[in-house]
């Protein structure tokens, strides 16, 4: 199964007001970068983003530890597309952008 093109379009619209946004193909999906840091990604699992390890929400599931660009990345979660209506998508995308400030 592939990632959702519809979700990619919705995320693109959510990030249109930010400066420095670029898109790249990542892990069989589309990553959205702000100033060369990945804020969110649309993958087969849904919308994926990095959160503080202490946060939780019943709709999200942790991603397995991944290697991206030669380094291990941890602390990423995915929210299934079915759980993303307009307001919740906006909230999750905002949290993804806020997650750029987390220590690496």
Tens-digit pLDDT profile for residues 31-77: 999 999 999 999 998 999 988 766 767 676 766 555 556 666 677 88
68: β partners? 71
41: β partners? 31, 48
Give the global pTM.
0.84
Beta-strand ranges (E) seen in 1-104 are 21-26, 29-34, 37-43, 46-50, 61-62, 66-68, 71-73, 76-79
For the domain 5-101, what is the CATH code? Answer: 3.90.1150
Across the chain, which distance is largest between two alpha carbons, in Å? 34
Residue 81, SS3?
helix
């Amino acid at each position: 199964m592939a990632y959702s093109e519809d979700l990619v379009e919705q995320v693109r619209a959510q990030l249109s007001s930010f400066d420095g946004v670029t898109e790249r193909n990542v892990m069989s999906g589309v990553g959205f970068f702000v100033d060369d840091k990945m804020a969110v990604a649309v993958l087969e699992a849904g919308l994926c983003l990095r959160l503080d390890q202490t946060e939780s929400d019943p709709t999200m599931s942790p991603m397995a530890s991944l290697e991206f660009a030669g380094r291990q990345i941890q602390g990423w979660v995915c929210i299934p597309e079915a759980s993303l209506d307009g307001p919740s998508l906006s909230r999750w995308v905002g949290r993804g952008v806020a997650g750029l400030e987390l220590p690496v």
